[in-house]
Structure 1
Amino acid sequence: MSDAHGKFIWCELMTSDTAAAEKFYTSVVGWKTSDMQVEGMPRYTIFEADGTGAAGMMDFPAEMEGQGIPPNWTGYVAVDDVDQSAKDFAANGGAIRRPPEDIPGVGRFAVVADPQGAVICIMTPAPMDNPPPEIPMGTPGRIGWHELYTSNSEQALAFYSKVFGWTKDSDFDMGPMGVYRIFAHQGQQTGGMMTKPAEMPMSAWGYYFVVSGIDAAIERVKAGGGKVLNGPTEVPGDSWIIQAMDPQGAFFCLVAPKR
């Protein structure tokens, strides 16, 4: 495996109203937007922080209408060989939800699910002449944390260790909510796994966007028509978080270094 294999590289929103979502997230997170045109592909919006892409957005695909899937954020993980990694997901108890295919000039991707049903995208990016600079996870406007709500965190980490090379970093006892398992990629803390709440219908990933202060961000969420589901909560590392729902029903999270 290369050092890039198993690294989160992108996050993407599929939503029922891209114009409304653009207005909401540019206000809440502070992103700017630009459009990316790929021949034969629908309009794609790039959310930018400090002039570089931080996340993407597209219309909810027509073929997914009526399947009971809400608007959602999905992460992309880099893999050395997307075709082989898709097979590895299936061979180890997961599933291939969308077979590998090319995005011209961007890379080759597939949509997969782990054995507990959490969906994620894998991608082998196209080679780049001038790759963007590495930006620290805690930078405002970036993805600051990746969180898996799962029915079995022990099995989940064993699975992701096999397909992505992730390792256990540490455990944090959350009392009645169980153990929060922090995982690492190439020795760097990347995210956490926890037992999903009983009211959560299926295992799923959640993504934390970095903002400068959580209280002001909460007001922007409410003013934009979103709903705070949990928080503000102080977490290890002197950070504050909320979990929220955007006006179209997509689950998202925010993290800040202060109230």
Structure 2
Amino acid sequence: MPLAAAFYAGVVGWAVKDASSPELAYTLLTAGDTPVVGLMDLPEEGVRMGATPRWLGYVAVDDMDARVAQIRRLGGAILVSPTDSNIGRIAVVADPQGANFALVTGLTYGQPQQSGLDQPGRVGWHELLAEDRSKVFPFYGKLLGWQQASTEADPTSVYELFSVAGQTIGGMLTKLPSVLQACWLHYFNVDDVGAAARRVHEGGGRVLLEPIELPDGCWIVRCVDPQGALFALQGAWDQKGIARSSAPEVTWSAKWGDIASKGRMVLPKTKR
């Protein structure tokens, strides 16, 4: 855990705060005074069952028991039954296609904030790599009330944006075969994607694809940390002194370059 905390503090710029209890070693990573994410060692039982390092997204709910019962009715799975933890009452669950996420009530470290999601250090985007995104979207809509961000659904689109309380916060797409299991990918905001990608490489992680420019001028890059957990970065890119051809090792399918993280198809850019 200390190595992971040092890696992400260096890459994203988070401050590290020990939030351990007598029962659990736990580290908070904060943007200024705002808690953003937490780190803990994989439980021994999870390791025995084949769990690997990963980021787990938490969704706040009002009625934990009702949502857990609904997940079962909708074809999902309960991986960890509702239990009290250091961050509130939680349950670890999976959607019908096997993507893991968690539910939480009574958050210990403040309430979810919909404002400021574009600020550096925040989690600015949530992306579901589904087995079949058209079939799994209704699960999240019925369970959590998420809505399609556009009322004009395009049956030819490869990407489905979703919104919460009127704010678009993520998208869903059908994963490529190179992604072995359905999963959620979380994007962390940084000031300079090129510089952050270089820090990923220097910290022992890997950049899986050269940074991609979106039509709105935002850049994204998908990465894996030194322990194997997938994550992504998004933000501006000051390219002074950083050539795109100098990007670290590329190991994921180049087909990813045709899919923008915010649901728009983009053409390959001319190298500068």
Q: TM-score, normalised by structure 2?
A: 0.81
Whether 2:97 is the aligned partner of 1:116: answer yes
The structure-2 alpha-carbon separation of the partners of 1:192 and 1:172, relative to structure 1 and needing over 3 Å to count, comes to farther
The structure-2 alpha-carbon separation of the partners of 1:69 and 1:133, relative to structure 1 and needing over 3 Å to count, comes to closer
Stretches of structure 2 lacking an aligned partner (at least 5 in a row)? 239-272
- The SS at the match of 1:68 is coil
Q: 1:120-144 CA distances to partner (integer Å, 9 max, x unpaired)? A: 000112588x868764111100101
Q: 1:143-172 CA distances to partner (integer Å, 9 max, x unpaired)? A: 010000001111211110000000001389
Q: TM-score, normalised by structure 1?
A: 0.85
Tell me the residue number matched to 2:137: 157
Larger radius of gyration: 2
2:11 equivalent among 4, 28, 50: 28
The structure-2 alpha-carbon separation of the partners of 1:157 and 1:195, relative to structure 1 and needing over 3 Å to count, comes to same
The structure-2 alpha-carbon separation of the partners of 1:75 and 1:127, relative to structure 1 and needing over 3 Å to count, comes to closer
Tell me the residue number matched to 2:261: none
Cα deviation, residue 236, structure 1? 4.1
Whether 2:242 is the aligned partner of 1:245: answer no
Tell me the residue number matched to 1:136: 116
Q: Could you tell me how far apart the structure 2 residues matched to 1:218 and 1:191 are? A: 22
Whether 2:39 is the aligned partner of 1:60: answer no
1:184–1:190 contact (8 Å) kept in structure 2: yes
Q: Could you tell me how far apart the structure 2 residues matched to 1:236 and 1:153 are? A: 23
Whether 2:188 is the aligned partner of 1:209: answer yes
2:60–2:112 contact (8 Å) kept in structure 1: no
Q: Could you tell me how far apart the structure 2 residues matched to 1:86 and 1:131 are? A: 21
- The SS at the match of 2:216 is coil
Superposition misfits of 4+ residues, deviation over 2 angstroms: 37-40, 66-69, 130-135, 170-173, 235-238
Q: 1:61-120 CA distances to partner (integer Å, 9 max, x unpaired)? A: 11111333220000000111111111111110101111001126x421100100001000
- The SS at the match of 1:73 is coil
1:219 equivalent among 190, 198, 204: 198
1:71–1:248 contact (8 Å) kept in structure 2: yes
Let me know the Cα RMSD of the aligned residues. 2.1
Tell me the residue number matched to 1:82: 64
The structure-2 alpha-carbon separation of the partners of 1:240 and 1:127, relative to structure 1 and needing over 3 Å to count, comes to closer
Cα deviation, residue 228, structure 1? 0.5
Amino acid corresponding to residue 25 of structure 1 in structure 2: Y
Q: Could you tell me how far apart the structure 2 residues matched to 1:83 and 1:29 are? A: 35
Q: Could you tell me how far apart the structure 2 residues matched to 1:164 and 1:218 are? A: 33
Aligned length: 236
Tell me the residue number matched to 2:237: 258
Q: Could you tell me how far apart the structure 2 residues matched to 1:133 and 1:221 are? A: 27
Cα deviation, residue 200, structure 1? 1.3
- The SS at the match of 1:181 is strand
- The SS at the match of 2:50 is coil
Cα deviation, residue 60, structure 1? 1.2
Amino acid corresponding to residue 144 of structure 2 in structure 1: F
Stretches of structure 1 lacking an aligned partner (at least 5 in a row)? 1-17
Whether 2:149 is the aligned partner of 1:169: answer yes
Q: Could you tell me how far apart the structure 2 residues matched to 1:237 and 1:192 are? A: 16
Paired-residue identity, %: 41
- Which stretch shows the higher mean deviation, 232-241 or 119-128? 119-128
Q: Could you tell me how far apart the structure 2 residues matched to 1:56 and 1:203 are? A: 22
Tell me the residue number matched to 1:179: 158
Higher RCO (CA < 8 A, seq sep 6+): 1
Q: Which protein is richer in strand relative to its size?
A: 1
